[in-house]
Amino acid sequence: MREDEQLKAKCIIEKDYRVGDVDPRLFGSFIEHLGRAVYTGIYEPGHPTADEQGFRRDVLALVKQLQVDIIRYPGGNFVSGYQWTDGIGPVAARPKRLDLAWKSVEPNEIGIDEFVDWCQLAGSQVMAAVNLGTGTPAEAANLVEYCNHPDGTAWSDLRRQNGHEQPHGIKLWCLGNEMDGPWQICHLSPEDYGKKALEAAKMMRWVDPRIELVACGSSTSNMPSFPEWDRIVLEYLYEQVDYISMHNYYGHNDVETTGDFLASFLDMDQFIRTVVATADYVKAKKRSKKTLFLSFDEWNVWAHRSASYETWDYAKPRLEQIYTLQDALVFGGLLCTLLNNVDRVKIACLAQLVNAIAPILTQPGGAVLKQTIFYPFQQVSTLGRGAVLRPLLSSPRYETVYGEAPVLQLSAVYRAEQEEVTVFVLNCAQEEDVELTLDFRSFNTVLPCEHLVLTGPDLQAVNSFTEPDKVVPRSLTLPSCEQKIVTAKLPGLSWNVLRFTTKK
C-alpha cells in the first residue's frame, strides 16, 4: 500500500466540551454465588495464599490492580431464591441449600458479613441485591436493618452478636434481578414487579433514608418486552428509585463477521439511548423534576453457549469463558461507550469478576491468571477517572449489522489535577493501520507521554496458566507534538491507550 493510501482519521479534543465527570462506580464488578466465583474463587480455605478468613490473597491482589470501586452481590439469578438469613451466624450451623438458579448446592459459608469483610480488603464498596423473587418486601427491609442500623433492634443487635459491631453502611441496593426473564425464580409481569418493588423501596427507605435504589430494567435489549417493561416499571417506581438497571452481553456467536463483533459498541450505545429516552418519557409524563440515571450493572463479552447441568454439585465450573485477543478488543470498545455516556450511566458492573465470565481465573489450590480482558479494564479504571470530553472525530466508516460504524471507537478523559489527557481507541480496521491526528487546540501545552497497545497476529490468542503473558499490552513510541497536534499510528485490529501530559 502506498503511504498516501493509508487510512486516516482526525479528532479534536476540546477540554471544555465535556460529556460529564466519571462516577467511580462506573468501574464496578459483580460476584454471584455461581460456579467457582465464590468458592475456589475469592474464598478457598487451605489455599497457600489464604488469609485467616479463607480469602485468597493472590485474587485480592489482582482485584486491587483493577481498582474495582463497587461490587454487586450476591446475584444475579441466584438472589431470586436466596434466603439471606442462611448466610449469617456461626458457619457450622448454616444450612446447605439447593440453588435452583444454577443447579448446585450452596453451603452458605460466605454471606453478607463475610462479603463486606472481603470488599473492605479489596478496597471496594458493596452493591447489595435483595430477593424480590421468593423474597418479600419485609425481608428486604430486614436485611437493610441488619446491615445499616447501628444498634438497639433485633436485627442490628444480631449483626453485632455476629461479630460486626459497626454497621456495614451499604448505600446502594438493587431491587431484585432480571424479573422480566422467564428463567428467573418467581418471574413477574412489569405491573406485579412494579407493585412489589414499590413496597420494598418504601420499607427499605423507611429503615435507612440514605440508601440509593436500583430498579430492574430489561434483562437485555433483545427481550420482546423491551422497552415497554422499563416504561411500566418506572411509572410505578420513578420517584422511589435513583437508577434503572441495564444488562447486556456481547458474543461473536451473535453476529456473522469480525467487523460486526468489533462494532458491538454501537449496539450498547443504542441500548443506552433507548433506556434514557424511556426514562425521560416517564419523567415528562409524571411532570417530575428528577432525572433518573442508569446502572449498567451487568455487561461483558460472553459467548452465550447454552449448558445443562445434570447433577447437583458444589463449586463446579460454570460459564468459565476463556477470553481471546478479539474479545479484549471488543471489550475495549464497550468501555469507550460507557465513558462516552457518563452523563447518564453512573454505575456499571463488569459481570463477573472471578472465574465465571471473568477477567480473573483461578486454579483450585493453584495459580491465578489475568485473562485478556483484564488489561483494558485495568487501563480504563486507573486512567479513565476524570472529565470525559466529547471527541470531535472524523473517521473512515464501514457497514455492520448495527449500521454504519466508525473504524475508530474513541473516548478521551481529562484529569485536571494530574494535568493529563488519556485517549482510549479501538481500531476496527482489519488489515490496515490507521493514522490518527489528535488536535489539542484548547490546551496550553501537550506533551506525549505513553502509547500502550494490545494487538497481535492471532485474534484467537489467549492467556493460559502455561502461557500467562501471551496477550499483554506493549509500549510504542508517540511522536513529538507540533503546534498541539500529535499524529499516532494505530495498528490494525488494536486497542490503544494514548497518554499526554498538559499544563494549565
Residue 252 has what pLDDT?
84
Q: For 127, which DSSP code? A: E
The proportion of the chain whose per-residue pLDDT surpasses 70, expressed as a percent, equals 98
- Contact between 459 and 325 (Cβ < 8 Å): yes
Q: Does 139 participate in catalysis according to the annotation?
A: no
pLDDT given at position 333: 98
Annotated catalytic residue, options 44, 106, 145, 178: 178
pLDDT tier at 310, thresholds 50, 70, 90 = low
CB 331 within 8 A of CB 376: yes
Active-site choice (106, 114, 145, 298): 298
- Partnered with residue 93 across adjacent β-strands are none
Average pLDDT over residues 57-74: 98
* H or E stretch covering 496: strand 494-503
Could you give the CA distance from residue 414 to residue 317 in angstroms, rounded to a whole number? 41
Q: Which residues contact 359 (CB under 8 A, 6 or more apart)?
A: 66, 323, 350, 353, 370, 371, 373, 374, 377
**Alpha carbon distance 31, 39 (integer Å):** 11
Q: Residue 149: left if φ>0, alpha if ψ -120 to 50, beta else—which one?
A: beta
Specify the pairing of strand 345-350 against strand 293-301: parallel
Task: Report pLDDT for 309.
Answer: 65
Q: Is 178 a catalytic residue?
A: yes
Query: In angstroms, rounded to a whole number, what is the distance separating the alpha carbons of residues 401 and 391?
Result: 24
Taking residues 244-252, report their average pLDDT.
Answer: 95
**Confidence at residue 408, expressed as pLDDT on a 0 to 100 scale:** 97
Determine the pLDDT at residue 474.
97
Of the candidates 241, 294, 1, 267, which has an alpha carbon nearest to the alpha carbon of residue 130? 241
Least confident of 59-73, 228-242, 452-466, 478-492: 478-492
What angle do helix axes 374-383 and 57-66 make, rounded to 10 degrees? 50
Q: Tell me which H or E stretch contains 196.
A: helix 190-207
- Binned at pLDDT 50, 70 and 90, residue 151 comes out as very high
Spatial distance between the Cα atoms of 124 and 24, rounded to a whole number of angstroms: 11
- Please give the pLDDT value at position 304: 73
The average pLDDT across 303-316 equals 74
Nearest to 316 by CA among 111, 104, 50: 104
- Pairwise CA distance, residues 136 & 130, whole Å: 9
Cell 456467536 found at: 253
Contacts of 360 (CB under 8 A, 6+ apart): 59, 62, 63, 353, 354, 368, 369, 370, 371, 374
pLDDT tens, 273-302?
A: 999 999 999 999 999 999 999 999 999 999
The DSSP letter of residue 256 is S
Say how far apart CA 134 and CA 96 lie, in whole Å: 17
DSSP state of 186: T
Q: Beta-carbon neighbour count of residue 294 at 10 Å?
A: 24
Residue ranges and CATH numbers for the domains of the chain are: 3-16+389-503 (2.60.40.1180), 23-383 (3.20.20.80)
Instruction: For residue 314, name the pLDDT band (cuts at 50, 70, 90).
Output: confident
